[in-house]
Structure 1
């Protein structure tokens, strides 16, 4: 799909309407990513994972970061190992790798992601804090993230700006390969 400046503007207009109509995670430029996640009724599992992996401190004080935040319902549908397994203290390393798979250093707004896709002929690649790459592409007006193992997630709520970055809610959990085995 060839992205042009005109198509980006159309997507942003639709995305702006979509975000205000269905936003589950609130924009708050005075709160950190962790504090906003803690106040969301739809991200309790993500918050528990942040706390269990000691990423809470990092995502509360440092930044900027972009967090692709799976909702609780996305975690309920996780394939492979269950979230209960991952939240077990014995599996802390695996959980930390899973959570850092959803974080990119820097603040990537939806418009920056779309601009990068235009420059990359419909694809943009970003390196996660975990160290692996995720690829952003378009499916209609949706931004879809794909990890190096083929796992996909769609951004369903974009651009929840925070004091130390931005949160994009996604509909699935992208996973390193080991989590699926």
Structure 2
């Protein structure tokens, strides 16, 4: 039986070798790239998406300081108006450092949850003058004349899909009315 299996294997190799079909490294590489592209297309949760976006690193640090990472990795859906690093840098000097201190965690939570709307709101759902209740209980005002804005902050990148919602990147940190 071993001899028969060996002969069959040799015959199979000979047939493949003589078939004239060659697989080039280029074809193999293309196949690998196609598989990687499929993997990359699967949406990530909001926090993972922010972690992988260089301009949102300050937001990620703030989410960690406020212990909101697991919340925004939850089922959702959530709509997050995500301020860029430049938006946080534009706050008055020392503000961010103060907010990141453990004793100011409640203030930080209030600000960050003011950037989150329950449910998935994509840009085509936005209307001029629209009010949206945020997770912290306050409302934000959406305007669409001259581009989408949230409380005056420009939406610089809209509809970034996440597995548990959508992210709209904004150019300013918006503050709840109480602040």
Smaller-chain TM-score bracket: 0.7 to 0.9
Q: Which of structure 1's runs of 4+ aligned residues deviate more than 6 A? A: none
Q: Using the alignment, how far apart are the partners of 2:162 and 2:69 within structure 1?
A: 15
1-structure distance, mates of 2:76, 2:97: 29
Q: 2: CA distance between counterparts of 1:95 and 1:55?
A: 10
Which residue of 1 is the match for residue 174 of structure 2?
174
1:143 maps to what in 2? 148
Query: Residues 93-108 of structure 1: matches in 2 within 5 Å?
Result: 93-108=106-121
Deviation at 1:139, TM superposition (A): 3.1
2:132 is the counterpart of 1:132: no
Q: Deviations over 1:83-124 (max 9, x none)?
A: 1110011100000000001000000000011xxx2xxxx311
RMSD: 1.7
Residue 29 of structure 2 corresponds to none
Structure 2: how far apart are the matches of 1:50 and 1:158?
A: 20
Higher relative contact order (CA 8 A, sep 6+): 1
Distance 1:129 1:81, change over 3 A: farther
> What CA deviation, in whole Å up to 9, does each residue of 1:44-103 have, x standing for no partner?
110011111111001112200000000000000024861111001110000000000100
1:112 equivalent to 2:125? Answer yes
**Cα distance 1:80–1:131, how it changes in 2: closer, same or farther (>3 A)?**
farther
How many residue pairs get aligned? The number is: 140
- Contact 2:79/2:117 (8 A) holds in 1: yes
C-alpha spacing 1:158/1:28, structure 2 compared with 1 (3 Å) = farther
Paired residue for 1:12? none
- Aligned 8 A contact 2:43 2:161 in 1: no
Assess, with a 3 A threshold, how the Cα gap between structure 1 residues 51 and 44 changes in structure 2: closer, same or farther. same
1:64 to 70, 74, 77: 77
Distance 1:158 1:82, change over 3 A: same
Q: Give the distance between the partners of 1:66 and 1:131, measured in 2 at CA.
A: 14
Structure 2, unpaired ranges of 5+: 1-39
What are the within-5 Å matches in structure 2 for residues 8-19 of structure 1?
none
Q: Does 1:77 align with 2:90?
A: yes
